[in-house]
Chain A
Amino acid sequence: MSDSTNTQLPPVSPFVVETDGLSKNFGERRVIKGVDLRVPRGVAFGYLGPNGAGKTTLIRTLLGLISPTAGSMRLFGLPVPARRAEALARVGAIVEEPLFHGHLTGHENLMIVAAARGAATSRRIGDVLDRVGLTVRADDRVKTYSLGMRQRLGIARCLLADPELLILDEPMNGLDPAGIQEFRGFVRDFVAEGRTIVLSSHLLDEVEKTCDHVAIVDNGAIVMQGSIEELRNAGGFGVLIEVDQSARGRALLSAHPSVERVLDDGASLRVSLRDSRAVSELNRVLVEAGLSVNRLEPAHASLEQRFLEVTTRLENAA
């Protein structure tokens, strides 16, 4: 490869990660199925799916740890693997659990990665240890670290690159509530600096609290992607209705042509509507039937509900 090839400016792209038809087979088993992923710049992006959905395999493919079977991918607009070294110089990543040489200290483990990244990186070791709060334990052997400290050292290792993009695989595994809280703060600060985080997780609630964009993956394929708001609203408009006779109310509402589905959660009826203008009409139907409507308000679907709806739809289609 010539110098001129390596120094070509990357094409301007609004996305830090783009994949087109990316697939990966392990023997006969297709683990990633034609994934078209778009991760915008400057967001916390959740790659959400159940265990075994192919999340880690996608991350390993993006990072060049394994080769794709088909499709193409770009990081910062740079084609990978053709310009892998250039692209990965701007990326920090933790794949699966962060592992280290246990016989070396935290500082020495970072020295090893800094040596691989380039001489200038070693000057950042003190700063990144300070940022993750490990300065005091930096000269202790890693085998004496707790899981939480290893997670923090893993983050420090990522930050050595001063990365524009951080890719974290199930980063909240093994963290206690305080650690999770701390991690959310770290993500917010990182994104506030204009950088991008991609984190994979099977914890829907955590992704909803931590990320602003998400892709839902199931069985190796992306079933939905967009901002959290877009995904919540993608299922149409919904209302929560509380009536004094919920069984009658549910029957009346289910029979109405504007209602797509009614779920009784015990306290109220969660109604999905085909037409948001039908809310007053539903209220009239219930009142005219002699029911008391105690509460009627817009329903905000959680990401979990959307996830379950999407995966249920897939199961039904299958």
Chain B
Amino acid sequence: MSTLALALPTPGLVSADVLRLRKRRGLVLVVSLLTIGAIVISNTIIELLHLSNSAAHGPAGGVTMLGHQAFTIAALGAVAAAIVGATAGSGDLDAGVYRDLVVTGRSRLALYASRIPAGLLFLVPFVASAYALEAGVSVVFAGFHPLPSTYVLTVTGLWVLLKVVFYYLLAVGIACLVGSRSYTIGALLAWTLAVTPILASIAALGKVRELVPGVALDSLMPAALGGSARQGPVIAMSAAAVAAVLVVWAVAALAAGAVRDTTRDA
């Protein structure tokens, strides 16, 4: 068997990593609330307000509301991604069982690599379900608001998924690098919720802001949403520039995590 083959995660390893995540009741609860729960609760409130006073409150559906809710799913999904990524990346170390996996003789790179698909298999269904729910609400409860087109629904969904997947990859790499779940979650939340909006709003930074992944991700937001899903200023970037920024960040984080994980004292 080649070195590359030994380094690849087997379906069994990925399944084992998924098992570790889905059996954490607290994690399942938090991720459910941050994704499906947030959409159910916010849409229920909006629709109840609309039913009670339709003159003051619009319906829960329509393209504008899709934009608002897509922002909600993406923002809270990024938080969920940080939590899941940090748990997947450092769970074995935190539990003290990493060494027991290493002494099986299995390649450390394979043990590391299996966490990437495993976490996504756990996380993406929650995010996809939340978005599917929102897509349905945006059409069924549109009322007098314009309906989102199939294209807008599809592109918005892909944008939400891209944002969540990106922050998940970042979290896995950083968690393996620092070897701590809590530090990783704290650092990523600070970065996404505080540092990114501040950097994006400093006009004096000019093009340098394009190097911030949150800025690059927001520039991909579907134009049809009319800025409703945007937190900071509009910074136009080419698709190639966005791809380059995201790939460099993700690869750097994952590579740093891989190097640390394969060389650390277990």
Given known contacts A88-B104, A103-B23, A111-B16, A116 and B95 CB-to-CB distance under 8 angstroms: no
| Residue B206, interface by CB 8 Å | no
Collect the chain A residues with CB atoms within 8 Å of residue B1's CB.
3, 6
Number of interface residues, chain A, beta carbon within 8 A:
39
* C-alpha spacing A160/B182, complex, angstroms: 33
CB closest residue in chain A, given B16? A115
Contact with B along A1-33 (1 / 0, CB 8 A): 111001000000000000000000000000000
| Residue A89, interface by CB 8 Å | yes
| Residue B2, interface by CB 8 Å | yes
| Residue A211, interface by CB 8 Å | no
| Residue A71, interface by CB 8 Å | no
Segment among A38-46, A92-100, A245-253, A263-271 that sits at the interface with chain B: A92-100
Collect the chain B residues with CB atoms within 8 Å of residue A298's CB.
none
B103–A115 touching, CB < 8 Å: no
Residue from A101, A109, A115 within 8 A of B12 (CB atoms): A115
Contact with B along A115-154 (1 / 0, CB 8 A): 1111100100000000000000000000000000000000
Collect the chain B residues with CB atoms within 8 Å of residue A88's CB.
103-105
Q: Which of B5-35 contact A (CB under 8 A)?
A: 6, 10, 12-13, 15-16, 19-20, 23-25
Max chain A C-beta neighbours (<10 A), residue from B13, B16, B20, B105: B105
Residue from B19, B96, B266 within 8 A of A66 (CB atoms): B266
Given known contacts A65-B265, A104-B23, A111-B19, A86 and B104 CB-to-CB distance under 8 angstroms: no
* C-alpha spacing A112/B16, complex, angstroms: 5
> What's the least CB distance linking B105 to chain A, in Å?
3
> What's the least CB distance linking A115 to chain B, in Å?
4
> What's the least CB distance linking B19 to chain A, in Å?
6
Collect the chain B residues with CB atoms within 8 Å of residue A2's CB.
2
CB closest residue in chain A, given B91? A101
> What's the least CB distance linking A233 to chain B, in Å?
36
| Residue B57, interface by CB 8 Å | no
A99–B16 touching, CB < 8 Å: no
* C-alpha spacing A101/B92, complex, angstroms: 8
| Residue A217, interface by CB 8 Å | no
CB closest residue in chain B, given A157? B100
Residue from A91, A109, A116 within 8 A of B13 (CB atoms): A116
Of the four ranges (under 10, 10 to 19, 20 to 34, 35 or more), the interface on chain B belongs to 20 to 34
* C-alpha spacing A88/B266, complex, angstroms: 15
B266–A65 touching, CB < 8 Å: yes
A101–B95 touching, CB < 8 Å: yes
Residue from A99, A111, A116 within 8 A of B104 (CB atoms): A116
Collect the chain A residues with CB atoms within 8 Å of residue B91's CB.
101
B106–A85 touching, CB < 8 Å: yes
A104–B104 touching, CB < 8 Å: no
A112–B20 touching, CB < 8 Å: yes
B104–A117 touching, CB < 8 Å: yes
Collect the chain A residues with CB atoms within 8 Å of residue B20's CB.
101, 104, 112
A116–B23 touching, CB < 8 Å: no
| Residue B111, interface by CB 8 Å | yes
Contact with A along B36-72 (1 / 0, CB 8 A): 0000000000000000000000000000000000000
> What's the least CB distance linking B233 to chain A, in Å?
43
* C-alpha spacing A98/B100, complex, angstroms: 9
| Residue A260, interface by CB 8 Å | no
| Residue A161, interface by CB 8 Å | yes
Collect the chain A residues with CB atoms within 8 Å of residue B24's CB.
103
B106–A116 touching, CB < 8 Å: yes
> What's the least CB distance linking B99 to chain A, in Å?
5
A63–B103 touching, CB < 8 Å: yes
* C-alpha spacing A72/B96, complex, angstroms: 27
B99–A95 touching, CB < 8 Å: yes
Given known contacts A1-B2, A99-B96, A102-B95, A113 and B107 CB-to-CB distance under 8 angstroms: no
Q: Pick the 9 closest A-B CB pairs, nearest first.
A: A88-B105, A99-B96, A115-B16, A115-B12, A65-B266, A85-B105, A116-B104, A116-B106, A112-B16
Binding site for A on B (CB under 8 A): 1-3, 6, 10, 12-13, 15-16, 19-20, 23-25, 91, 95-97, 99-107, 111, 265-266
20 sampled A-B residue pairs with Cβ under 8 A: A60-B99, A63-B99, A63-B103, A64-B103, A65-B102, A65-B265, A66-B266, A85-B106, A88-B103, A88-B104, A88-B105, A95-B100, A95-B103, A99-B100, A101-B97, A104-B20, A111-B19, A112-B16, A115-B15, A119-B10
